[in-house]
Amino acid sequence: AQSVTQLDSQVPVFEEAPVELRCNYSSSVSVYLFWYVQYPNQGLQLLLKYLSGSTLVKGINGFEAEFNKSQTSFHLRKPSVHISDTAEYFCAVSDEGSNYKLTFGKGTLLTVNP
Amino acid sequence: EAGVTQFPSHSVIEKGQTVTLRCDPISGHDNLYWYRRVMGKEIKFLLHFVKESKQDESGMPNNRFLAERTGGTYSTLKVQPAELEDSGVYFCASSRRNYGYTFGSGTRLTVV
């Protein structure tokens, strides 16, 4: 069975500071990894995904994540955040055996302060 | 292209009543998924349609939940009778290929 742990439920940062949102997963097979973002009153939007290939994945809005198989992690980073990045971020995992359904973490609320 | 549309956006019902949530996927997307987030917990998979067929309904919590997808187009999720623990946000997503998910804005269901 798969599981996802997002180690921080809330992350407050100041504008223009760097941020890292942590995600660890457990799975017995090869995995596919995703980060989604939910802005207030909106649906889930895909930020980036790792399916295969390069372990450094670049997404929208300047975010990137690195797949680390040995540490079973997929941390999300951004070098300089904006007020508009305030949202809830979800890490998710899937694999071929799960028929492409996603297993999500509990989410991390990123609050960017001026 | 139009996105995934869910309605209502909010619903408040009393325990024991029936509620029907609707999802209109992106046109041409054969895959349709329902997920649910109960307050304070993870977003969890409920079921997956391929066209009008249920591919996987392993996440459906109990037989009070009934999902249908008429003619492989829109889908409905009915809760009958609703219980307090059914409160949460219900998300629908669709994709043409697996992993090309587009999520809707969700329906916030409150059972009082």
Q: Write out the two tokens for A1.
A: 């069975």
Indicate the domain borders of chain B.
Answer: 5-95
Count of domains forming chain A: 1
Render each residue's pLDDT in chain A as its tens digit; 114 residues.
789 999 999 999 999 999 999 999 997 778 899 999 999 888 899 999 998 889 999 999 999 999 999 999 999 999 999 999 999 999 999 887 777 789 999 999 999 999
E strand map for chain B: 5-7, 10-13, 19-24, 31-37, 43-50, 53-56, 65-69, 75-79, 88-95, 102-103, 107-111
pLDDT tens digits along B46-69: 999 999 999 999 999 999 999 999
Per-residue confidence (pLDDT) for residue B33, from 0 to 100: 95
Class of domain B5-95: mainly beta
Mean pLDDT, chain B, whole residue set: 93
Per-residue confidence (pLDDT) for residue B98, from 0 to 100: 66
Are residues A49 and B56, on separate chains, in Cβ contact within 8 Å?
Answer: no
pLDDT reading at B71 higher than 70:
yes
**Chain A contact set for B56 (CB, 8 A):** 99, 101
- Residue B39's φ and ψ, nearest 5 degrees, are -50, 130
Q: B99 or B31, which is more confident?
A: B31
Partner B, chain A 31-70, Cβ-Cβ below 8 Å: 32, 36, 41-46, 49, 51
Give residue B20's pLDDT band: very low, low, confident or very high (50, 70, 90). very high
pLDDT tens digits along A23-35: 999 977 788 999 9
Tell me the C-alpha distance between B2 and A88, whole Å: 24
Rg of the Cα atoms in chain B: 13
Are residues A102 and B4, on separate chains, in Cβ contact within 8 Å?
Answer: no
| CATH assignment of the domain containing A98 | 2.60.40.10
